[in-house]
Amino acid sequence: MSQTYATHSHHPVPTYLAIVFTLVAMVALIGAWWFAWPTLYLGVVSLSFAVAMLVSISRTYITKLQDRIIMLEMKVRCAELLPPDKRSLLPKLSPKQIVALRFASDEELGALLARSVAENLPPKAIKQSITNWRADLHRT
């Protein structure tokens, strides 16, 4: 999908839904406490949905951000370690494949990158092909 000025806007629908649940919860809970409306359960359920959605959203955003950082890290790493012909293979992999490739040691990175592109290895197969692992102790 190509992006233009007209199509670049981001509308985080789950965030909007969480806001709606939060507003419903606030009205229901304030009504229950101050005006004795019978809305306590509605408020608690709405608040629970809002919290669950926000936790889910935050985990999704964290993972996507980590993947973007890993992709940038792999571009830098390939630029430092590989010749231009091998470096040019990296954009042919999907983000998930690049994330899997990051565990490869410096010595096997070039060969595994070439094999991953040639055979279109799925992420699991890329990880299983690594003989000398680089630990990722900073992943959340």
Which has more pLDDT, 5 or 122?
122
For the record, the structure tokens of 11 come out as: 């509308």
- Residues 6-13: what's their mean pLDDT? 86
- Tens of pLDDT, residue by residue over 105-134, are 999 999 999 999 999 999 999 999 999 999
- Tens of pLDDT, residue by residue over 64-89, are 999 999 999 999 999 999 999 999 99
- Residues 12-39: what's their mean pLDDT? 96
The reply to whether the predicted model has a pTM over 0.75 is yes
